[in-house]
Amino acid sequence: MLKLNRLSYNFGSNWALKDISFSLEKGDYLYVTGPSGAGKTTLLRLIFGLLPVTRGKAEVCGFTMNGIHRSALPLLRRQVSFVFQDFKILPHRTVAENVALALQARLMPEQQVRKRVRAVLRGLDMERKADTRCEVLSGGEQQRVAVARAVVTNPQLLLADEPSGNLDPELSLRLMDVFRHFNSFGTTVILATHSRELLSSHKGAKMLQLENGQMAGASAVNAPPDAEATQYAALRRQS
């Protein structure tokens, strides 16, 4: 479902990512950790086609990301959702309107849209805010809208960038339950986080640790067979 082979990315002379190789199967749950500036967001942006894959290779949900045409990105994004670090929700629209947008874009009948939106908002304890404009919500509430919008389309792959950054510990755990709930129905999840607690609370999840754009550690992550795995083998011995 996802295969990266020596994926690298530079902003000018700064290598934000260097030689990242791993693969994920459907239903996997991967935490990407590492300090600020380690390359977590850059990795997710490459997977979502927000940055071009020019060094190394990436395959995502059957799409080859190298040279992917702009017209194919909407098709990719029918299968891949992204919860952004800065939410990217529409402030003047209501909660329900924000969450409904992606379903309406797929021409889902309005009654079905309303049902799905309510169900997802209920799961995130946001039902009573459904008709509130997003600009007046708290940071944590906005974050939950961003999550609702990403999961409402039932993606094959869910990318989440620090999704619990603005939440108190209890809500943060609840949110993790939501992700795990979707994961248990087969959605593959990649979650970038600084939080060690989140990791330690999820036994059996895969983990990739980034430092200065490089793989500094990994557990239970498969390297693709055709990766030049010298560096990777060294990492595996450490972890």
Cα dist from 176 to 39, 147, 198, 229, whole Å:
22, 11, 8, 32
For residue 15, give both structure tokens.
């290598």
Minimum gap (Å) between residue 93 Cβ and ligand ATP: 26
Binding site partner of 16, from Mg ion, ligand ATP, none, Cβ cut-off 5-8 A by kind:
ligand ATP
Pick the closer one to Mg ion by CB: 35 or 62.
35
Nearest CA-CA partner of 157 in 10, 19, 49, 18: 49
Distance between CA atoms of residues 88 and 111, nearest Å: 26
Binding site partner of 21, from Mg ion, ligand ATP, none, Cβ cut-off 5-8 A by kind:
none
Q: Is 193 in the site for Mg ion (CB under 5 A)?
A: no
Binding site partner of 42, from ligand ATP, Mg ion, none, Cβ cut-off 5-8 A by kind:
ligand ATP
Distance between CA atoms of residues 143 and 166, nearest Å: 7
Binding site partner of 36, from ligand ATP, Mg ion, none, Cβ cut-off 5-8 A by kind:
ligand ATP
Q: Is 164 in the site for Mg ion (CB under 5 A)?
A: no
Burial class (CB in 10 A: 0-12, 13-18, 19+), 133: middle
Minimum gap (Å) between residue 159 Cβ and Mg ion: 12
* Residues in CB range of 5: below 8 A, 6 or more apart: 21, 56, 57, 58, 224, 226, 227
Residues at the site binding ligand ATP, with contacts judged by CB under 6 A: 11, 14, 16, 34, 36-42
Q: Is 143 in the site for Mg ion (CB under 5 A)?
A: no
Place of tokens 């989440």: 160
Options 33-41, 148-156, 177-185, 195-203: segment touching Mg ion (CB under 5 A) = 33-41
Distance between CA atoms of residues 179 and 163, nearest Å: 10
Minimum gap (Å) between residue 82 Cβ and ligand ATP: 13
For residue 17, give both structure tokens.
């990512």
Nearest CA-CA partner of 77 in 52, 109, 102: 102
**One residue of 5, 41, 143, 209 binding Mg ion per CB under 5 A:** 41
Binding site partner of 14, from Mg ion, ligand ATP, none, Cβ cut-off 5-8 A by kind:
ligand ATP
Options 9-17, 21-29, 39-47, 90-98: segment touching Mg ion (CB under 5 A) = 39-47
Residues of this chain that bind Mg ion (CB under 5 A)? 40-41
